[in-house]
Amino acid sequence: MKKLIITLTAAVLLSGCSVKIPFINEKPEEKAEKNPQLAERKEQTKEHYGSNQTSDDSLYALEAAYFNTIKEVKGVKEIVNSDNVLALVNKDFALPGTYIPADLVRPNVPFSFGDQDIEKSYLRKEAADALEKMFSAAEKANIHLFAVSGYRSYVRQVSILNNEIDRVGKDKAMQAVAIPGKSEHQTGLAMDISSENVQYLLSEDFGETDEGKWLKENAYRFGYILRYPKEKVEITGYQFEPWHFRYVGEKNAEIMYKNNWTLEEFFKEVRKI
């Protein structure tokens, strides 16, 4: 066998020809032809983001403005471009305590608390419009949704966290409630949703209802993602919340849904342009 390998190598060198080794010398488009899933992802990229990708390692290109711009304030990584619709707010990145979205409106959807005009009934305009479309589509499918909690100020988050610490202790509270500044609700892009089947509560049981299942499978069509999936706790840092949906825009939501990505995973896959 050793002699045969040496003979073949010599023949190649003498002929001056190159040997086409699969997956090494192939061009990206040739790889895609042999891998239907890769080809499909490339087509999605062209449709959603344009054809600016340059390698298979980065199939999704995203403008730099959609990435967090960070400055460190007293040891906290604060998001400077807080109005970014794709702002990645989590346990690593925080919104400034003074941040309040300028375009908050009250969406015309059913709320668990009725017609009360209160802080948590508001969302940013783009997210509110999308929520109305989603609730309308749900009604046509005989799915009855109720909005529970949308925008939440920094001050309100302080109160909620303190109350939870008093109730269950600091360790458990930190798994369920975001540190002030690190709550998606402050972006004005997140809405907690429930239904009559679970008495309008925010519980894991909601994920087993028809309403919870419908949202999980259809929210992306309206630009929303299930932000804290059950199987992604180690990635998001938060417990399973089948009621918490975050607006990211229809194109981005579709890509995250089809790839089963969280927002954190999405930003690991996209390439900045």
Q: Catalytic residue numbers? A: 241
- Other Cβ atoms within 10 Å of 164 Cβ, number: 17
Q: Helix 125-140 to helix 210-218 angle, to the nearest 10 degrees?
A: 120
Q: Which amino acid, 233?
A: V
SS3 assignment for 107-156: CCCCECCCCCCCHHHCEEHHHHHHHHHHHHHHHHCCCCCEEEECCCCHHH
Distance CA 95, CA 101 (A): 11
- Other Cβ atoms within 10 Å of 34 Cβ, number: 11
Q: Which two tokens stand for residue 249?
A: 């825009």
